[in-house]
Amino acid sequence: MISGPFLLTALFLFSILALRLLLNYFAPGLQSIPGPVLARFSDLWRFIDACKGNHQQTMSELHSEYGPVVRIGPNFVSVADPAAVELILGLKANLDKTDSVNPMINAHEGEYLPMLISAKNSKLHARLKRPIAGAYSMSTLLSFENVVNDCSDKLMRRLREEFVDGKSHGRVCPLHEWLHFFTFDFIGRATFGKEFGFMDAGTDINNMIGTLDLQFLYIGAVGSMPWIDRLLLKNPLLLALIKTPNHLVDFTAQRIRHRLEGREKGDTSGYDFLSRFLDAQKQHPDVVTDIQLAAYTNTNILAASDTTSTALTAIIMCILQHRDVYDKLQAEIDASNVSFPVSYTAAQSLPYLDAVIKETLRFFPTTGIDLERTVGASGLSLPTGQSLPPGTIVGMNPWPLHRDRSVFGDDADKFVPERWLRTETESKAAHDERVRNMQRVFLTFGYGPRACLGKHIAYLEIYKLIPILVGNFDLSLVHPDRPPKTWTGVAVKILDLDVHIRERHRGE
| Digit-coded pLDDT (tens) for 38-73 | 999 999 999 999 999 999 999 999 999 999 999 999
Give CB contacts under 8 A, 24+ apart, made by 204-210.
206/247, 206/251, 207/247, 208/184, 208/246, 208/247, 208/248, 208/251, 209/180, 209/184
- Which tops the pLDDT comparison, 201 or 304? 201
What DSSP character marks residue 205? G
SS3 of 64, please?
helix
Residue type, 212: L
Rounded distance between C-alpha atoms, residue 100 and residue 116, angstroms = 14
Report residue 141 CA to chain centroid gap: 19
pTM above 0.85, yes or no: yes
Q: Where are the domains of the chain?
A: 25-100+370-404
**What pLDDT does 218 receive?**
93
Give yes or no for residue 206 having a pLDDT over 90: no
Work out the average pLDDT over 345-359.
98
Rg of the Cα atoms in the chain = 24
Is 318 labelled as part of a ligand binding site? Answer: no
Q: CA-CA distances (angstroms) from residue 447 to 87, 325, 400?
A: 11, 29, 16
**What pLDDT does 254 receive?**
84
Q: 439: which residues sit within 8 A by CB, 6+ positions away?
A: none
**pLDDT over 70 for what percent of the chain?**
91
- Measured over all CA atoms, what is the biggest interatomic distance in the chain, rounded to whole angstroms? 86
Q: How confident is the model at residue 306 (pLDDT cuts 50, 70, 90)?
A: confident
Rounded distance between C-alpha atoms, residue 467 and residue 359, angstroms = 16
Rounded distance between C-alpha atoms, residue 121 and residue 333, angstroms = 44
Taking alpha carbons only, the member of 355, 338, 361, 324 closest to residue 467 is 338
What DSSP character marks residue 453? T
Rounded distance between C-alpha atoms, residue 352 and residue 348, angstroms = 10
Lowest mean pLDDT among 152-161, 359-368, 481-490: 481-490
**What pLDDT does 271 receive?**
81
Rounded distance between C-alpha atoms, residue 276 and residue 135, angstroms = 7
**pLDDT over 90 for what percent of the chain?**
71
DSSP string, 79-107: E--GGGHHHHHSTTT-PBP-GGGGGG--E
Helical segments of 193-343, H only? 198-201, 208-222, 227-231, 236-241, 247-260, 273-283, 290-321, 323-336
- Which tops the pLDDT comparison, 140 or 398? 398
Q: How confident is the model at residue 242 (pLDDT cuts 50, 70, 90)?
A: low
| Digit-coded pLDDT (tens) for 258-274 | 888 875 665 544 589 99
Taking alpha carbons only, the member of 321, 391, 394 closest to residue 356 is 321
CB 137 within 8 A of CB 123: no
**What pLDDT does 233 receive?**
83
Work out the average pLDDT over 185-207.
94
Helix-strand-coil percent breakdown of the chain, rounded to 5? 55, 10, 35
**What pLDDT does 305 receive?**
80
**What pLDDT does 268 receive?**
45
Rounded distance between C-alpha atoms, residue 393 and residue 470, angstroms = 43
Give yes or no for residue 107 having a pLDDT over 80: no
Rounded distance between C-alpha atoms, residue 498 and residue 475, angstroms = 10
Work out the average pLDDT over 314-336.
97
Give yes or no for residue 365 having a pLDDT over 80: yes
Give yes or no for residue 348 having a pLDDT over 90: yes
